[in-house]
Amino acid sequence: MNMTIGNLASNAGVNVETIRYYERRGLIDQPVKPKTGYRRYDEAILDRILFIKKAQGLGFQLDEVKNLISLADGHCSEIQSLAEAKLGDVQLKIKDLQRLETVLADLVKQCNARVNKAHCPIIDALLPRRNT
């Protein structure tokens, strides 16, 4: 199935500018434009775009996706190493988010317990401390 860029975008669930951006970044090949008519994209390009979107859904940045694509025909251990590094990044983000959750929950608790309704502990926590 050969598709125009509009059909490709529709089938991949992205917009045309995304496809052009992927072409500029070297993530997908741009087909040769015939003398008359439009460039035609095949299913392999559609599959590549769907791969990119799934990889992004797992948290891979476009540079990392490009690296994954370059390793696709390589040894699985290289790809596993990239996935393990990404897993480590995700685990660190989760820990950071858990710390953030604890701090925010504490601030909300302080707000709920405040006696002086005009005084806000959240604002106090955000203001820089000055030694005077």
Per cent of the chain over pLDDT 90 is: 64
Reduced to 3 states (helix: H, G, I; strand: E, B; else coil), residue 41 is: strand
| Helix 43-57, helix 5-12: angle, nearest 10 | 40
Instruction: Return the bridge partners of 68, or none.
Output: none
- Write out pLDDT tens, residues 68-92: 988 887 788 888 998 999 999 999 9
How far is residue 103's CA from residue 115's CA, in Å, rounded to a whole number?
20
pTM of the prediction?
A: 0.71
Decide if 4 contacts 40 (C-beta within 8 A).
yes
pLDDT score of 64 more than 60? yes
What are the extents of the domains in the chain? 1-60, 74-132
Neighbours of 41 (CB within 10 A): 25
The domain at 1-60 falls in which architecture?
A: Orthogonal Bundle (1.10)
